[in-house]
Amino acid sequence: MDLQTALVISYPLSVGIAAMGSAFGLGKAVSAAMEATGRQPEASAKILVNMVVGSAFIEALTIYALVTVLLAKMFVGF
């Protein structure tokens, strides 16, 4: 197996794994935020802000994985 074939197989798989990890992380964050809001409704604004910031960081990791694949495609040319 040459380098180009290995890249064609591994990069989409790595982006898929990153997207799955992001989905699980976001699901856990939103679930915990909803549970916390149910327990303390008066703190819902603070909980929402913290959840949105955490979700942005989780999504950024997936975007970094996608950008890495696009840059590799541009420079390696697979």
H, E, C per residue of the chain = CCHHHHHHHHHHHHHHHHHHHHHHHHHHHHHHHHHHHHHCHHHHHHHHHHHHHHHHHHHHHHHHHHHHHHHHHHHHCC
Both structure tokens of 77: 């040319």
C-alpha to C-alpha distance for 39 and 16, rounded to whole angstroms:
35
Which residue range is the domain that position 48 belongs to? 14-73
pTM for this prediction: 0.75
Evaluate whether residue 4 is within a structural domain: no
Domain count of the fold of the chain: 1
Evaluate whether residue 24 is within a structural domain: yes
Evaluate whether residue 51 is within a structural domain: yes
* CATH number assigned to the domain comprising residue 57: 1.20.20.10
Evaluate whether residue 7 is within a structural domain: no
Evaluate whether residue 55 is within a structural domain: yes
Which positions ≥6 away from 36 have C-beta within 8 Å?
43, 47
pLDDT, tens digit, 9 for 90 and up, residues 12-66: 898 899 899 999 999 999 999 999 999 999 999 999 999 999 999 999 988 998 8
